[in-house]
Amino acid sequence: MKQDYDVLIIGSGASGGMAAHTLTRLGVRCLMLDAGPALDFDRQRVLRPVYDLPYRGFGEPGRFPHVTQASEFDANLWADEKQNPYSYDPKDPYYWVRIRLIGGKTLRWGRASWRMSDYEFKNKDHDGFGDNWPISYQDLAPYYDRVEPMFRVSGRKEGLPQLPDGVFIEDNSRDSISVQRFIEAAKKMGVATTKPRVATGTLASSVNLLLPDALATGNLRIVPNAIAREVTLDRNTGNVNGVSFIDRVSKRDYFASARVVIVGASTLESTRLLLNSKSRHYPDGLANSSGALGHYLFDQFYVKGVVHAVVPEARGGKGGRGLMGGGGYIPRFRNLNTREHKFIRGYAYDFGSGGTPPAAYIPKYGADLLNELADIQGAGFDLTTMGTVLPRFEHHVRVDPSLKDAWGIPALNISQRYTDNEFEMAKDSMNVAEEICRNAGFEIVAKHHQMVPPGESIHELGTCRMGSDPKTSVLNKFNQAHDVRNLFVMDGSSFVSGGPQNPTLTILALAMRSSEYLADELKKNSI
């Protein structure tokens, strides 16, 4: 049965899923399109030993030059890079990591769930760089309060202004002795720590936490394998009237009409769709009278394994008895009340106890190496830096006129590089991590400050930013296009700036807030 829908949602991940969850429960009829199929966890997944895989766990060579997260076990879940190409200047490689499945990247996310604070929302007030968000922490706090229980976030309350507390499943678990030593050493240096804050459960995805409730209302239809090509504009009203899409498998063309269109296709796919939606009104992309669409691309930089250490007492298999295991998080501590000379803003760390440092770090081979690895088995302590990246106008995406995907849709050219602010921060993070580890009595095995390429953190943000001024931003404070009243963009592309915090929790809270605003507007017939 074909029917009209109030709202068409493009994307089924964190933002699309939350939009559907919120709107359908308020009685709004929604149609959801997603570029990928739905997973069948029973039929498509099987336990296999690594030696049984064709490439012994190395993966098919060259299949994923930019998806370091893909393993040979789960390679089929990541978006194929040949079907979905993009380009960049070879001097500045960009690692664009995508999942095209119902549920999107919430099927594979790390689940870290940190709130942002006014150190991020009002960052210009602190250091004068860039722009403030059009909302403050207080605007979003009530939505964080509701998202955390839905995603069953565990954590410990700390009362830190740079990392606001939330509604947690209280994590009062005892820290292992190595973690206690690390925490003490950090404390003496004035560096706070906390427990991980993560969504719990077997799966913490749109697929199990958002979409089932939305479907149960009877107000949602989900169409998989629907690759959006263009959001179309009604020339008479200046509003959008639907989306043309192509079936992934049959390559048959369709059109879906609706009163309102929500784009939540992931940061860069959403912007790509708007850039590809050109008209006489908007020759440079839909709702782009500001010229800001595609600009201010940023993410978080990662220094993976910035320090690898060994806890000496745990050598020789003595890591048990509460000595090793567990981990935590160091929230941003730079540029809060003091001022660094070499960089603005700050970084955070994840730390973990009880791993084994990779063989690559040990300057040995043969039996010596195998004996050393056996000796330090489970005795490792490592940190990863996650740093703030400054949003800059010149870091941008545009449509590459010479490149199309497997469905004939123009692809993106991506241009982002890290700058001195990030480089200096990365160096500082290595030095501080080393100092804490040494003060805790750990042996340093390896240290470095090489950031992974832009994009690899899978925290790409910006390019369709919100703002109070329609001349410099695409969206208003409710993720609604300044130019087109019935167009909303609800994902990470709407971020004005970010901090070291993983962005998903904020994307969820923003999508919930904007969807409630939209439901209200629909009720008032203002859209």
Q: Which residues bind other proteins (CB under 8 A)?
A: 37, 39, 44-53, 55-58, 60-62, 71, 73-77, 101, 249, 359-367, 369-371, 446, 448, 450
Minimum CB separation of residue 452 from other proteins in Å reads 11
Minimum CB separation of residue 61 from other proteins in Å reads 4
Residues 6+ apart with CB under 8 A from 1: none
In whole angstroms, give the CA distance from residue 324 to residue 377. 11
User: Both tokens of residue 9?
Assistant: 């949602």
In whole angstroms, give the CA distance from residue 274 to residue 412. 12
* CB closer to other proteins out of 115 and 449: 449
Minimum CB separation of residue 313 from other proteins in Å reads 21
What one-letter code names the amino acid at 286?
A: L
* CB closer to other proteins out of 74 and 400: 74
Minimum CB separation of residue 78 from other proteins in Å reads 10
Minimum CB separation of residue 60 from other proteins in Å reads 7
Residues 6+ apart with CB under 8 A from 405: 83, 84, 85, 411
* CB closer to other proteins out of 73 and 168: 73
Minimum CB separation of residue 442 from other proteins in Å reads 17
Which of left, alpha, beta for 40 (phi over 0: left; psi -120 to 50: alpha)? beta
The whole-angstrom distance between residue 14's C-alpha and the CA centroid of its chain comes to 10
How many Cβ atoms from other residues are within 10 Å of residue 35's Cβ? 27
* CB closer to other proteins out of 359 and 403: 359
Using alpha carbons, select from 188, 272, 189, 182 the residue that is nearest to residue 229. 272
Using alpha carbons, select from 498, 493, 502, 499 the residue that is nearest to residue 475. 493
* CB closer to other proteins out of 90 and 366: 366
In whole angstroms, give the CA distance from residue 461 to residue 464. 9
Query: How many residues appear in the chain?
Result: 527
Which H or E run includes 220? strand 220-223
* CB closer to other proteins out of 168 and 407: 407
Minimum CB separation of residue 62 from other proteins in Å reads 5
Minimum CB separation of residue 246 from other proteins in Å reads 16
* CB closer to other proteins out of 301 and 495: 301
* CB closer to other proteins out of 168 and 423: 423
Query: 454: exposed, middle or buried (C-beta count within 10 Å: 0-12, 13-18, 19+)?
Result: buried
